[in-house]
Amino acid sequence: MSNSKFIEELIKAHNEYRAKHQASPLKHAQDLSDYAQNWANHLIATNSFEHSNCDLNGQRLGENIASKWSSSPTDYTGQEPTDAWYSEIAKYDFNEASFKHGTGHFTQVVWKGSQEIGAARATDGKGKWIAVASYRPAGNMNGDFARNVLPPKDGKIMIPAKKGF
């Protein structure tokens, strides 16, 4: 799968989840994908797993990262990291509407105020994959959760099924 197909899949998955939470679709921004690609490449090259400084030309970005490892040669689709991030909905308390450890990936995916996204992935060629998504404006801002992380329109919380990681 090409990186452009990965990005398309990831954005489509995000926008499907965002629609459930009354958030407008994210639009692709190439500068955010370039930023995400540089960070994914860095994580692979340094065999590390941590967030970037989330700063692009002085502007604060939101960021989600994910990793996958498989002993069999498999691809990393855009749906996989998005499902993993979204699955944190299980721990989020919509009544409390604030940051809670273990929910920040989910809240960034559906953050109503974010308008643009860029994404990338990198592999070591031995089964390890890293995915990075960059968001503008950044989500997860204290005091803004009630306005930006809305419950599902239908009231049903669905957890995506885990697929091998």
Mean pLDDT in residue range 10-16: 98
The tokens describing 6, both together, are: 């990965």
Q: Are 117 and 14 in contact (CB under 8 A)?
A: yes
Residue holding tokens 């990075």?
A: 132
How does residue 163 score in pLDDT terms, banded at 50, 70 and 90?
A: low
Q: What is the pLDDT of residue 42?
A: 98
Q: Which of 107, 102, 135 is nearest to 36 (CA)?
A: 135
How many Å apart are CA 116 and CA 26, to the nearest integer? 5
Mean pLDDT in residue range 24-32:
98
Contacts of 120 (CB under 8 A, 6+ apart): 3, 6, 7, 33, 36, 37, 39, 40, 131, 132
Write b or e for each residue in 68-77: b if 16 or more Cβ atoms lie within 10 A of its Cβ, otherwise e: beeeeeeebb
Bridge partners for 59 per DSSP? 56
Q: What pLDDT, on a 0 to 100 scale, did the predictor assign at position 32? A: 98
The 10s digit of each residue's pLDDT in 93-149 is 999 999 999 999 999 999 999 999 999 999 999 999 999 999 999 999 999 999 999
pTM above 0.75, yes or no: yes
Predicted pLDDT of residue 165:
41
**Opening angle at CA 106, ends 104 and 109, nearest 5:** 110
Question: How do residues 48-89 score in pLDDT, each as one tens digit?
Answer: 999 999 999 999 999 999 999 988 767 899 999 999 999 999
Tell me, what DSSP letter sits at residue 87?
Answer: G
Ranking 91-95, 153-157, 160-164 by mean pLDDT, the lowest is 160-164
Residue 164 has pLDDT above 80, yes or no: no
Cα-based distances in Å from 76 to 2, 50, 155, 165? 10, 19, 30, 11
Region 24-31 average pLDDT: 98
Residues forming a β-bridge with 62: 135
